[in-house]
Structure 1
Amino acid sequence: MNRSSQMSSPNSLRRQPKQQRGQQRVAKILTAAAEVFAQVGYSAATTQQIAERASTAVGSIYQFFPDKLAIFHALEAEHMERIAIVNAELLSKDIRRPLLQTIDEMVDTHAQYFEHPIPRIVYLQYFLAPIPGLFALFDDKFDRLLISQFADLCQQRNPQLDRDRSELIAEVFHRTYNCLLLVALKSNGEHRQKLYAELKNLLYVYLNPYIGDDLLLHTKVMICEHCGSDRVAKNGHRHGKQRYICRACGKQFADSYSLRGYPPEIKQQCLALHQQGMSFRQIERQTGVSHNTVINWVAAAS
């Protein structure tokens, strides 16, 4: 039996606030609860402490929530809804972007997101202090979904990767990301930023051999023939041909490849930086374009 099968419904509000003032009160209670849970722990926290932090009466809390578990379920539900939107936006970006830029945006976006007390306490509680029966939505299935989505991205950037290999790469990426993100969130501000920087470097070094920019330049990227999206995954065979499904529009189609590379403005930017005296490695760090690619561009332009 998994953890979610033991839960009450996460939608545990006694009544949904309809007016703005009521919605603001609930939001204030939830933020206060997240701060109290982070300070003293879920088990030790009381509704009285939450009420004091929210500058409201305990009775006001019970107008909306029957108990402490219902409050946590509301925090969890808010986090799950928001993180789904955050991840969807990250994964919907053009896969032709430099790998370093993709990693930078991913880490920076999550770092900013988890500065908010609600997602931070839900995330830390799940991974560092799990309590049986506490979570209703956040479970191993969510982890597997994230791994599957990143495996899709790996195959989009490098179609030569088979599904098993891409999922293994995605799992190593995801587990490593989670571990260092957790350490960073427990650290102070200055050290946290240093950990984020090292996390970016680590992820880039690991992913570059599999889905690096050089591979993207020399491989064919599947494009949806219906909507033009590159969010495409393999979907079995028919009449001996590989079938694909578009994650953007949901339609299926057969082989339809298009060669992809960097946009012309990226190439011109790199050449201009080289003319200004910047080294190939410095250009790579600033633009995310592999130094080998820049070397080839410079050689071709000379």
Structure 2
Amino acid sequence: MPEPLRRLPQQARSRLRFNQILDAAALVFEEVGYEMASTELIAVRANTSIGSLYRFFPDKSAILHALGERYASELKDLFVEIFHAKNLGKPLADILNEAVDLCDIFYSNNLAARIIFLQSQAFPQLQTMNRRLDNEIAVIFDTFLALRQPNVEAEQRRLMALMVVEIASALQLFYWNQDEQLRQKIVTETKLVLIRYLEPIF
């Protein structure tokens, strides 16, 4: 199990250095992959000393986890925006299509995020982080569905919200391991699966 962060930055200068290291790690992971990356390469890319890096991160896996937390926060913000009360008047199919598309765009535009997502099966801490993120997104979606259809039993609604998130997450893990043509087809099928699952009730 990877060690936790040595310290969380408190001062502005330390936060800047912390984020510079994460930015550099993202670039290194994109260029050489996680397995070939090293703390030395990341420190050089961040234009900092290896000692400065080790002030925050005990090893490479701790950097991976911290970067994963950053991307998880960005994804959560994305879903907060999609499943906002201002979108209650939109057709459910449009909202689900947008959610799948924006998540797909996020990973398409962030190779490092995709690498971390695909690496998550090998790291218990990343698995825990992904489960927490899925649960948080499910709560956000459940709140949205409750506003949309308040007469649905709460237990059933919560289960369906969680099912949608887990189905989408599992299919996403599957389609990022396929060639681009098949990947696009699975993205389309993912939308259809979610729409057909929810539309009879919501």
TM bucket normalised to smaller: 0.7 to 0.9
Superposed CA offset, 1:19-66 (max 9, x none):
98x6885354121343268x354xx643245467x4x77x63442344
Higher relative contact order (CA 8 A, sep 6+): 2
> Corresponding residue for 1:26?
21
Measure the CA separation in 2 of the matches of 1:40 and 1:27: 13
> Corresponding residue for 1:120?
114
Query: Which of 201, 204, 215 is the aligned partner of 2:195?
Result: 204
Measure the CA separation in 2 of the matches of 1:197 and 1:206: 15
AA in 2 matched with 1:31: A
> Corresponding residue for 2:63?
71
Relative to its length, the structure with more helix (as a share) is 2
CA contact (8 A) 1:148 1:167 kept: yes
Distance 1:28 1:79, change over 3 A: closer
Distance 1:139 1:18, change over 3 A: closer
Q: CA deviation at 1:16?
A: 6.1
Query: Which of 153, 158, 164 is the aligned partner of 2:155?
Result: 164
Measure the CA separation in 1 of the matches of 2:18 and 2:5: 20
CA contact (8 A) 1:114 1:120 kept: yes
TM-score, with length taken from structure 1: 0.55
Distance 1:147 1:194, change over 3 A: same
Deviates more, 1:105-114 or 1:25-34: 25-34
CA contact (8 A) 2:141 2:161 kept: yes
Relative to its length, the structure with more strand (as a share) is 1
Q: CA deviation at 1:112?
A: 0.8
Q: CA deviation at 1:98?
A: 0.9
AA in 1 matched with 2:4: S
AA in 2 matched with 1:79: Y
CA contact (8 A) 1:11 1:74 kept: no
Measure the CA separation in 2 of the matches of 1:7 and 1:91: 35
Residue pairs, 1:144-293, within 5 angstroms: 144-211=135-202
CA contact (8 A) 1:10 1:136 kept: no
Q: Percent identity?
A: 22
AA in 2 matched with 1:171: L
1:105 and 2:98 matched: yes
AA in 1 matched with 2:136: L
Q: CA deviation at 1:205?
A: 1.1
Equivalent pairs, count: 197
> Corresponding residue for 1:60?
49
Q: CA deviation at 1:113?
A: 0.8
Q: CA deviation at 1:117?
A: 2.3
5+ residue gaps, structure 2, are none
AA in 1 matched with 2:30: E
